[in-house]
């Protein structure tokens, strides 16, 4: 069976970028025959940026309810919270000791933080915690522990998956070759081509860190208002517009069929007004999201149900996958067998 795995960091409210980049393709992929799926809430990753415990907990609940509202079937899919599986943290250390520090120096998120410090005339590493530096190793452990073949993500995560391949390969080479074994499968990113990076309200990548997101389950009126605030150029109705250069068009494309997208492209050429284009975008998104929003609200009203599902999922997953592999890995590197 092909194994599919992906996670979302529990650092805020899920937005349209998370939905089209990860949740929607992952839920669809989980329904195919001959796949085994692993979908989780990356709460350990959240600690890198969020030092507000209430926010981490709230976000964990919101993201869990999002997965379920979008059609994840917990009877068919492994569904869990990262911190409920301590084997992930243990594997993180083993991988830390094979990971090249130079590779981590080149990770986008870390480099961007260093670049900001340089621009501000600060020391390179001022205010940067070691968690940010180690982020790709923790993510590699998430992926390698369950021997994922495919990882559905937005384009921003591709570098991290390449790093997971690198660390997995080094481990296989160091410890597997002498034993004639391959401990880890090497994962591949799976990217939805028409939504590789969804733009936010200001045209930059939609991201919690830029404060430019459209929450997936914003109430209808808020969704309409946010869409109306998307930045456009100042071309008047009747003037032809460049679809490829438009956030409104890119968002539309992520929610529309190929035919609808082609029709919208023609309307852009014919000079559709921004107000009309945004209204069409709102209707397209709302018609897809409205039924999910209703389920989401029902789920959020019963947090204890979600909590039970997550704990149960993690417990079964540890027994079926995490503990047996960790036992092998401990032996491989020369640590004592705990069982």
Instruction: Extract the annotated binding site for L-tryptophan.
Output: 142
Residue 59 or residue 172: which is nearer to ligand TYM going by CB? 59
Give the C-alpha separation, 303 to 64, whole Å: 10
- Among the listed residues 36, 43, 62, 142, the single contact to ligand TYM using CB under 6 A: 142
Residue 5 or residue 85: which is nearer to ligand TYM going by CB? 5
**Are 6 and 26 contacting, i.e. CB atoms less than 8 angstroms apart?**
yes
Among 191, 83, 197, 99, which Cα is nearest to 140's?
Answer: 99
Q: Is residue 17 a contact residue for ligand TYM (CB under 6 A)?
A: yes
Give the C-alpha separation, 201 to 228, whole Å: 9
Give the C-alpha separation, 70 to 65, whole Å: 8
- Among the listed residues 3, 18, 248, 268, the single contact to ligand TYM using CB under 6 A: 18
Piece in contact with ligand TYM (CB under 6 A), picked from 120-128, 204-212, 244-252, 281-289: 204-212
Q: Is residue 25 a contact residue for ligand TYM (CB under 6 A)?
A: no
Residue 156 or residue 162: which is nearer to ligand TYM going by CB? 156
Q: Is residue 45 a contact residue for ligand TYM (CB under 6 A)?
A: yes
Q: What is the DSSP string of 36-88?
A: EEEEEEEHHHHHHH---HHHHHHHHHHHHHHHHHTT--TTTSEEEEGGG-HHH
- Among the listed residues 4, 27, 41, 42, the single contact to ligand TYM using CB under 6 A: 42
Annotated binding site for ATP: 9-11, 17-18, 154-156, 198, 205-209
CA angle 49, 255, 1 (to 5 degrees): 75
Tokens of 279: 């209204």
Binding site for ligand TYM (CB under 6 A): 5-9, 17-18, 20-22, 42, 45, 139, 142-143, 151, 153-154, 156-157, 195, 197-198, 205-207
């Amino acid at each position: 069976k092909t194994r599919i795995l992906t996670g979302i960091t529990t650092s805020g409210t899920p937005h349209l970028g998370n939905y089209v980049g990860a949740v929607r393709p992952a839920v669809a992929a989980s329904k195919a025959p001959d796949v085994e799926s692993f979908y989780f809430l990356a709460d350990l990753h959240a600690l890198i940026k969020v030092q507000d415990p209430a926010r981490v907990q709230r976000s964990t609940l919101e993201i869990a309810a999002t997965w379920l509202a979008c059609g994840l079937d917990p009877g068919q899919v492994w569904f869990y919270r990262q911190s409920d599986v301590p084997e992930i943290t243990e594997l993180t250390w083993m991988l830390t000791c094979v990971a090249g520090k130079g590779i981590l120096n080149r990770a986008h998120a870390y480099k961007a933080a260093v670049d900001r410090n340089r621009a501000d005339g600060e020391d390179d590493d001022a205010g940067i915690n070691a968690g940010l530096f180690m982020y790709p190793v923790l993510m590699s452990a998430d992926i390698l522990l369950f021997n994922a073949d495919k990882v559905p993500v937005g384009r921003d995560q591709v570098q991290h998956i390449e790093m997971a391949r690198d660390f997995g390969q080094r481990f296989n080479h160091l410890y597997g070759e002498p034993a004639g074994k391959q401990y880890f499968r090497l994962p591949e990113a799976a990217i939805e081509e028409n939504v590789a990076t969804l733009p936010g309200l200001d045209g930059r990548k939609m991201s919690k860190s830029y404060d430019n997101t459209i929450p997936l389950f914003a109430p209808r009126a808020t969704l309409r208002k946010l869409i109306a605030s998307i930045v456009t150029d100042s071309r008047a109705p009747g003037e032809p517009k460049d679809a490829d250069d438009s956030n409104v068009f890119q968002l539309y494309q992520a929610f529309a069929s190929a035919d609808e997208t082609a029709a919208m492209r023609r309307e852009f050429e014919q000079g559709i007004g921004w107000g009309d284009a945004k209204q069409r975008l709102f209707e397209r998104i709302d018609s897809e999201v409205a039924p999910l929003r209703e389920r989401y609200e029902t789920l959020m009203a019963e947090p204890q149900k979600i909590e039970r599902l997550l704990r149960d999922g993690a417990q079964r997953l540890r027994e079926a996958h995490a503990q047996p592999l960790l036992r092998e890995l401990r032996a491989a590197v020369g640590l004592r067998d705990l069982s």
